[in-house]
Amino acid sequence: MTKSCVVSRVQFCVNLHEFLKTKRRILKIAKKSAPTNNWNDTIKHNYEKFGEDFTIEEFHGSIWSGVHLFRKTESTLIFLAKKNRAPINNSTSNLPEEFLVKSSLTESSSSLHHEKEVLSNLGPFVNLVDCYGDEITISKSGEKVYNVFFEYCSGSSLRDHIRKFGPNGLQEHEVRKYTRDIVHGLYYMHCNGRYIHGDIKSRNILLSHGMAKLASFGLARKLTAEVICEEEISGSGPYASPELAREGYLGWPADIWALGCVVLEMFTGKSAWSFGDAHRYLMDCNNEKIPEIPKNISREGRDFIKKCLIRSPYKRRPSWLLIKHPFVCQ
């Protein structure tokens, strides 16, 4: 191959890379410029589809019924359910007495289908919430509803647990324990399941009997050399890695950056930084600033956080090394 051919090929690769980055920026600007439905209007619309006299009792399946509504998003209702009679087939025989149900109208259930598929591919693991299956039901207004059954973690989310302790944060022994659980969950996803979680934050980590479990796999992607994330990331801005915020590139290092933010949040009782600060510092390619790490944290804790919050994704420590770190081993 001649020198001119080599130069031409290198130039083509560089131009292609720049084109993809430019295309990504255009897509993000177009998304932010496009008019969006008001959140409350969307919820109201979904409720109207379920019927104006919506009640939790409307949600029931072959052997289960809804008990208490926990949360509602733009397209999903999340509530506590219980078994009300003996299973009629093998697909529902593994349901516990109480479990969590996520329900969406079938025409807006693609994310829920994806979450079910991811957990089915990953299989059961102690630091991931269990998925017990799915079922399609019919609402009173005749709409098809897609329901997925998840493990009910009675300890609520890590975010709620942190808020109970206020600005002082959690005790270090507790931070170590939850961090160990999260790292094991990520290690299993990255190394065994070959998946990126894509949305690690304290709200998506649930507590059950003193154990932390990863949840909410709607943004999970198969682990490849590089994944271009087409999802809007503004909802998790304070946890977004520099490469994800700037260029939309999602890989396992993005999970590790978010892990560092969660550990810092456990120690301090507040987000690693506000969304405004995150956006300003992460979008600056020449800025090496990371969230401030308090000096009263142990040497092992400070070192663990620093190894997660390395701005370059190529230097950030992977889960298969963090799992051996003294902070989670001692």
53: CB partners within 8 A, 6+ apart: 140
SS3 (DSSP) at 83:
strand
Burial string for 284-313 (b: 16+ CB within 10 Å, else e) reads: eeeeeebbebeeebeebbbebbebbbbbeb
Distance CA 74, CA 290 (A): 32
Cβ-based neighbour number of residue 165 at 10 Å: 13
Residue 103 bridge partners (DSSP): 77, 147
Of 207, 85, 116, the C-alpha closest to 158 is 207
- CB-based burial label for 143 (10 Å; 0-12, 13-18, 19+): middle
Dihedral sign from CA coordinates of 151, 123, 103, 134: negative
Among candidate residues 130, 181, 199, 255, the one labeled active-site is 199
Residue type, 299: R
Contact (CB, 8 A) for 20 and 228: yes
130 is catalytic: no
Task: List the one residue out of 91, 89, 95, 41 whose CA is nearest residue 65.
Answer: 95
C-alpha triplet 279, 27, 220: angle, nearest 5°: 70
Joined tokens for residue 267: 């120690």
What is the DSSP-derived secondary structure letter of residue 300? H
Q: Which residues contact 239 (CB under 8 A, 6 or more apart)?
A: 200, 201, 257, 258, 261, 262, 272
Active-site positions read 199
